[in-house]
Chain A
Amino acid sequence: MSYEYDQASLPDLLPLYYRRLFPFSQYFRWLNYGGVTKNYFQNREFSFTLKDDIYVRYQCFNNQSELEKELQKMNPYKIDIGAVYSHRPSQHNTVKSGTFQALEKELVFDIDMTDYDDVRNCCSAAEICSKCWTLMTIAIRILDRALKEDFGFKHRLWVYSGRRGVHCWVCDEAARKLSQSARAAVAEYLSAVKGGEEAIKKVQLSDPIHPFIKESLKVLEHYFEDYALVNQDILGSKESIDKVLALLPEDILFKGSPLDLLQNDFLKVKTAAQRWEYLKKRVHQMQGSLKKAVYGDWDIMFQYCYPRLDTNVSKGVNHLLKSPFSVHPKTGRVSVPIDLKLLDEFDPFAVPTISLICQELDKALEGDEEANDKENEGELEQKRRVRDYKKTSLAKYMKVFEQFVEKMEQSWKGELLKKSDQQKDF
């Protein structure tokens, strides 16, 4: 019906989106970071993907108004946010070679469902479904906890990418100032699944079990039964059982009982949950006779569920990442913030598409027209915009964004006062 999204309609929908719905005010408040550092917003690189896959980099703006005008003029299909540079990005060619440098950027993470293809039964590639979406939930829980409790980062924004993954924007000042090697170290700390196509066993836990692993394990244990045993049914068929058993060290498998026999024992046990219990029992039994501590069952849980992040995205200070509230051209879905308080209820399929919200807006305007005409006149563009998105399904996601920005603003207020006092700037 008319709510169906069609990529071909983007050129018609985007103008409406950028005029009436894109949250310029909060967006600017966020990226300006309270104006504490001079030219922070002005030296920020944006890149646009335009119609027909035209890609333009080094876009920058002096203020919110310029940003608005440009977006409304270009109507980009996709917006990426890059780093804050030493100079206006638009001048990168005129500046003396070597001196144009990326100085700061949020610490970002990108979790992509395709990285789990080897452990997903239900979908592959760009597809996602409610069964495998749990992987994202698990990833967010584990990573967010660590970023908050281990690293002390307070301002973390999780965003649905619009198709098959999630992004995290860590906006603390300390995070923005991290060097490339620091970012790589953080990403490394958070990684546990290692190995590409060639590797079968991608997780090997050993003593000492770091507190981070212990905490992550708690999350995995919470979700594992429903996600892996029931939904993904990893112990359901011979084939999938084989895959799981391939992850156990040989000592556990073969000691006293050749592989086949083990599998037959499995098939005798009826439910997936019971099979898992059986496997765990075997692992713990065998543990006694081995010299080194082996965590076979934990290894399996990690390999099937633990977050897989692309360290390259996190490492580069100048890496460009899709902006929140950018539209995904293939699905039409808006990249919306995720409310962590309602994480388990988040449904990627309920995220509004641009065609939906434009429809909703049109409908709302029709209804309002007669009633509010006079009031609408002379109203600030901004205010109108706020009322506008509130009439659409974007409302609840905007709220998350607004709260996020407000929380940051509270931390800057003190900064700005301090600074202006120092400079005697009134």
Chain B
Amino acid sequence: MQFSGRRQKIVRLTGDRQADLYPHSLQFYGQPPTENISLSEFETFAVDRLKLLKTVENLGVSYVKTSDQYATKLEGEFRKLHFPYRVETDEKSLDTEYDKRRKDHISHFILRLAYCQTEDLRRWFIQQEMDLFRYRFHILTKEPAHDFLKFNNLHYESISDEEKNTLKEELIHSSYGFSGPKVEEHDFYKVPFQDALDLVRGRKVYLREGLAYIPHQEIVAIVLNDFRTRLSKALAITARSLPEVQSDERLQPLLNHLSHAYVGQDYSIQKNIGKISLEQIDPFSTKSYPLCMRQLHKALRENHHLRHGGRMQYGLFLKGIGLTLEQALQFWRSEFIKGKVDADKFDKTYAYSIRHSFGKEGKRTDYTPYSCMKIILSNPPSQGDHHGCPFRHSDPELLKQKLQSYKIHTNGISQVLDLVKGMHYHLACQKYFELTHSVDDCGFSLNHPNQYFVESQRILNGGREIKTEVTQNETPQQIPTNPAPKSATAPEENAAKTKGATKDAGCK
């Protein structure tokens, strides 16, 4: 793959790795991968790339794309998720680099399947892939950049000094910010005007005989344009062959969920299993539960019953905070028999489904607790239901009364209601957290009820300073920007991935 100049020997890739397949740290994704991969690699690759793209999205919102912080954070994510970004010249890492580039290649094509289906999904995917590409191209130095372009048949002819001199006046006046000396200094390229439409459209480039004269720094814009066009076409083609792909049962669930996937921690592995006792549940519900779960618990206590949606949402949450199967069975049984259900019936019907949700029955999927996104977007409550997100699904008046009954002061309540009005449900819940814990800033970006619980417990049990750094990301589908510290209550992301129980990627 690369000849090392320092030492005289030729370094080779090991195993099945094909030399020349991935000569650069980035690519145009022109050819789909043709090898076989396992389902678990398929899933891991897809989820990892999705995390990468979501990071790209969030960083792009919070930082200027040319800033150092953007670069540092993005590069950190590349390393963490094993994606390529820089030309690595260390021979020892040839194999690793190859693997990263292969992952990059395959994961891109998998995500195409998930993101080609609607206009919105395509637009999102193209935007993030473009930003990703832009960064990786931007950090290439002149020679690798030139090689990369040449390899991809993008020939941008640079103009001679003579020609530059002849056209000096025109070049100065067609590019904003270009003085005489600057024109002399910089390279200019001639490209067919069809390849520089954005510049032509805004009359920001000198045109002659159908050729656009572009300063070097604008070449990136051209290349990006090319990238976008290719990807857009490819997605349209992919969409046409999608029905065939979707009929494959192994892929269908993953592909369906990828485009809605929550990719933060899914709280499916609990390190605190068995560390919670049933007596703690009532006080937890008023102190550390998010409003949705508090509401469900209260309804359960009052009615001695919950309908299916509520049982799922609350039941999985309880699993997430550390209830064992035995505790769960005891909990639900003792409540239900206070109502209209007799012990026998409980054991025959409800017990089965509780065991099912713990992965002890049927197809043995260990279901994961619902994220906020899932609760807000799917299965809205109807008459008689208590599940859902109160900020999203409750009538504002009723919500107000409820908050008043929880002794939250009026000022706080109106702040919450304002956020609800603006449809910022996550922020409303965060505000609820702040009001009930008497802190100015909750210090985290909320997207999972179990996360709420964990954070709450952390504050109440001491041992954490209130973060002064504001987390700017206020969009839903947010990856928590502060990874869970190594405390007993925090589950581990990677373990969750390898378990295979995450087949559903946190959503059902």
Residues of A within 8 A of B (CB): 149-153, 174, 178-179, 181-182, 184-186, 188-189, 208-214
Contact = CB atoms under 8 A, between A and B. Distances in A.
Contact of A211 (B170, B197, B209, B211): B170
B207 interface: yes
Instruction: Name the 6 nearest CB pairs between A and B, nearest first.
Output: A152-B210, A152-B209, A150-B207, A185-B201, A185-B197, A188-B201
Nearest to A175: B210
Interface string B178-193: 1000000000000001
Interface residues on B, range: 20 to 34
Given A152-B209, A213-B203, 17 more contacts: A149-B208, A149-B209, A151-B193, A151-B210, A152-B208, A152-B210, A153-B210, A178-B194, A185-B197, A188-B203, A208-B174, A208-B176, A209-B173, A210-B173, A210-B203, A211-B206, A214-B173
Interface string B194-214: 100110111100111111000
A212 B201 contact: no
Nearest to B192: A174
Contacts of A211: 169-170, 173-174, 206
A175 B198 CA distance: 18
B213 to A, nearest CB: 10
B197 A182 contact: yes
A155 to B, nearest CB: 13
22 contacts: A150-B208, A150-B210, A151-B207, A152-B209, A153-B210, A179-B194, A182-B194, A184-B201, A185-B197, A189-B203, A189-B207, A208-B174, A208-B175, A208-B176, A208-B178, A209-B173, A210-B203, A211-B170, A211-B173, A211-B206, A213-B203, A214-B173
A214 B173 CA distance: 10
Nearest to B202: A188
B271 to A, nearest CB: 53
B221 interface: no
A182 B173 CA distance: 23
Which among B200, B206, B207 has the highest number of chain A CB atoms within 10 Å? Answer: B207
B432 to A, nearest CB: 47
B172 interface: yes
Contacts of A212: 203, 207
Contacts of A189: 200-201, 203, 207
Nearest to B207: A150
B173 A208 contact: yes
A422 to B, nearest CB: 21
Interface of B: 169-170, 172-176, 178, 193-194, 197-198, 200-203, 206-211
A210 B197 contact: no
A153 B198 CA distance: 20
B173 A174 contact: no
Nearest to A153: B210
Contacts of B169: 211
Contacts, number: 55
Contacts of A213: 203
Contacts of A186: 200
Nearest to B240: A98
A105 B174 CA distance: 30
Contacts of A179: 194
Contacts of B178: 208
A210 B208 CA distance: 13
Contacts of B172: 208
Contacts of A153: 210
A174 B210 contact: yes
Contacts of B208: 149-150, 152
A151 B211 CA distance: 7
A210 B172 CA distance: 9
Contacts of A150: 207-208, 210
Nearest to B197: A185
Nearest to B198: A185
Contacts of A184: 201
Nearest to B167: A211
A172 to B, nearest CB: 9
Contacts of B207: 150-151, 189, 212
Contacts of A185: 197-198, 200-201
Nearest to A151: B210
A186 B210 CA distance: 11
B237 to A, nearest CB: 12
A208 B170 CA distance: 10
Nearest to A148: B209
Nearest to B175: A208
A181 B197 contact: yes
A8 to B, nearest CB: 47
A152 B200 CA distance: 14
Nearest to B204: A210
A209 B204 CA distance: 10
A188 B202 CA distance: 7
A205 B24 CA distance: 44
Which among A153, A185, A213 has the highest number of chain B CB atoms within 10 Å? Answer: A185
Contacts of A151: 193, 207, 209-210
Which among A209, A210, A212 has the highest number of chain B CB atoms within 10 Å? Answer: A210
A214 B211 CA distance: 19
B172 to A, nearest CB: 7
Given A150-B207, A153-B210, A210 B194 contact: no
A214 B207 CA distance: 13
Nearest to A192: B203
A182 B170 CA distance: 23
Contacts of A210: 173-174, 203, 206
Contacts of B210: 150-153, 174
A184 to B, nearest CB: 7
A179 B207 CA distance: 19
A234 B190 CA distance: 43
Contacts of B200: 185-186, 188-189
